[in-house]
Structure 1
Amino acid sequence: MTTAIDINTGRHIFVKLVAIHERGRSDILRIADAITGKGAWMESGYQWCIDMEDNDFDYVAERVECVYCTDEKEWEASANAKLAEYGLKLGKFDEEAGDRWELVDGD
């Protein structure tokens, strides 16, 4: 499991990162914690951060842009290429939510 720093307390907390389609956009993914529902972002040094007091998901969630495709397989390859910058790749699609994927180690 991945950890993130709560920027308010400096404590490390366990997070389960997911990639979520930005509302109405298939070319943009947002990274969030599936446990708390809070947006997550990466600081320098490849450290994930989370703000447990801020509810402005659109402002804080890491934004992965320019995920383009002509079909589903190409879209997944494009998303994984972008997520590789974070050391991640798409995992299982959440059928129930319908708009997100688990994120797994890209190695």
Structure 2
Amino acid sequence: MLTALDINTNKATDIKPIAINQGAWDVLYLADANTGKGIWWANGQWNIDIEDGDLEHDADRVEDVYGADEEEWEAAANAKLADYDLKLGRFDEIGCDRYELAEA
């Protein structure tokens, strides 16, 4: 289980990281599945704004994710997510716009 610092209370909160596409699969927004709020990595920890967080404003973005096919795209995404010690997990077949993220 990962935690993030809530910037409003300075308390750790459990998060479930996901990567969301916002229209194009070459950019993934990092978010918390529990709250839908964007998460970002700073000062050696995950951070979240639970009260007023905005996905497009707060979320770290993984950009320039390209591949000739799904396998190459997943490898490219995982290479970029490795900077966060994360990797792609299960694809959301219902929403079709996000992946669960797992610790690498």
Q: TM-score range by the shorter chain?
A: over 0.9
Q: Tell me which residue corresponds to 2:80.
A: 82
Q: Tell me which residue corresponds to 2:6.
A: 6
Q: Tell me which residue corresponds to 1:17.
A: 17
Q: Tell me which residue corresponds to 1:93.
A: 91
Deviates more, 1:92-101 or 1:76-85: 92-101
Q: Tell me which residue corresponds to 1:44.
A: 43
Deviation at residue 57 of structure 1 after TM alignment? 1.4
Aligned partners of 2:83 and 2:43: how far apart in 1? 12
Aligned partners of 1:82 and 1:49: how far apart in 2? 19
TM superposition outliers: structure 1 runs of 4+ over 6 Å? none
Deviation at residue 6 of structure 1 after TM alignment? 0.1
Q: Tell me which residue corresponds to 2:55.
A: 57
Q: How high is the sequence identity, in percent, across the aligned residues? A: 57
- Measured against aligned partners, the alpha-carbon deviations of 1:15-49 in whole angstroms (never above 9, x if no partner) come to 1000111x22110000000001111000122x000
Deviation at residue 97 of structure 1 after TM alignment? 1.4
Aligned partners of 1:39 and 1:54: how far apart in 2? 10
Aligned partners of 2:16 and 2:76: how far apart in 1? 22
**Considering only aligned residues, what root-mean-square deviation do their CA atoms show, in Å?**
0.8
Aligned partners of 1:39 and 1:93: how far apart in 2? 18
- Measured against aligned partners, the alpha-carbon deviations of 1:38-63 in whole angstroms (never above 9, x if no partner) come to 11000122x00000122421000110
What is the identity, as a one-letter code, of the residue corresponding to 1:28?
V
Unmatched tracts of structure 1, length 5 or more: none
Q: Tell me which residue corresponds to 2:29.
A: 30
Any idea what SS the aligned residue of 1:102 has?
strand
Deviation at residue 100 of structure 1 after TM alignment? 0.6
Any idea what SS the aligned residue of 1:104 has?
strand
Unmatched tracts of structure 2, length 5 or more: none
